[in-house]
Structure 1
Amino acid sequence: MSDHTTRHAIALRYDGQHTPTLTAKGEDALAEAILALAREHQVPIYENADLLRLLARLELGDEIPEALYRCIAEIIAFAWYLKGKRPVGFIPD
């Protein structure tokens, strides 16, 4: 019996105009490479096993399903906030 736990990673691309798309997914060494690249480029990393399982069903280049728009939008908004970014035309209260 092996104690090895498979590591998974998913990467999404969002340009601010179109629906986020799946740009990378992988297990173990590929997952570690995806995460290392994200860290290198200071991309925030969000961990959620349930969301990962849903997104892993997509093929590379697929848009996220409409049912996940709100969830993904909240994650993107938080990632932008962490990086000090604001949407075009955003006026704070």
Structure 2
Amino acid sequence: MEPHRRPLPVIPMEAVALRYEPRLEQAPRLVAKGRGEVAERILELARIHNIPIREDSDLVRLLGKLDLEAEIPPDLYKVIAEILAFVYFVNEKWKKEKAA
């Protein structure tokens, strides 16, 4: 006899979006955050505008606690710097492919 299994809870998708303009800002800012349909829309807009997407559920949870337009706190600079390096790499690769 198989023991009764509880269904796994459905966890809504979460997403955040950052903006960083080095000439204008000291640190990246949180410009969008949401769960469920809002998260899906954030990702859809990123895809439409060819904005690189990176999955990191732990970081999304941390950033999701910030207020909109808040600067990223210094303790997250290293992690965000790694993500920005990824974004710059993807953008340069895309530019080269587009030019070819």
Residues of 2 paired with 1:78 and 1:16: CA distance?
16
After TM superposition, which residue ranges in structure 1, 4 or more long, deviate above 4 angstroms? none
Offset, 1:22: 0.3
Larger radius of gyration: 2
How many residues align? The count is: 85
Residues of 1 paired with 2:73 and 2:79: CA distance?
11
> Quick check: 1:75 aligned with 2:83?
yes
How well do the aligned residues superpose, as a CA RMSD in angstroms? Answer: 1.6
Residues of 2 paired with 1:4 and 1:67: CA distance?
31
Residues of 1 paired with 2:39 and 2:22: CA distance?
25
> Quick check: 1:65 aligned with 2:73?
yes
After TM superposition, the score normalised by the length of structure 1 is 0.84
Residues of 2 paired with 1:29 and 1:15: CA distance?
28
Residues of 1 paired with 2:16 and 2:92: CA distance?
23
After TM superposition, the score normalised by the length of structure 2 is 0.78
Q: Which runs of 5 or more structure 1 residues have no equivalent in the other structure?
A: 86-93
Percent identical across equivalent pairs? Answer: 47
Offset, 1:3: 4.6
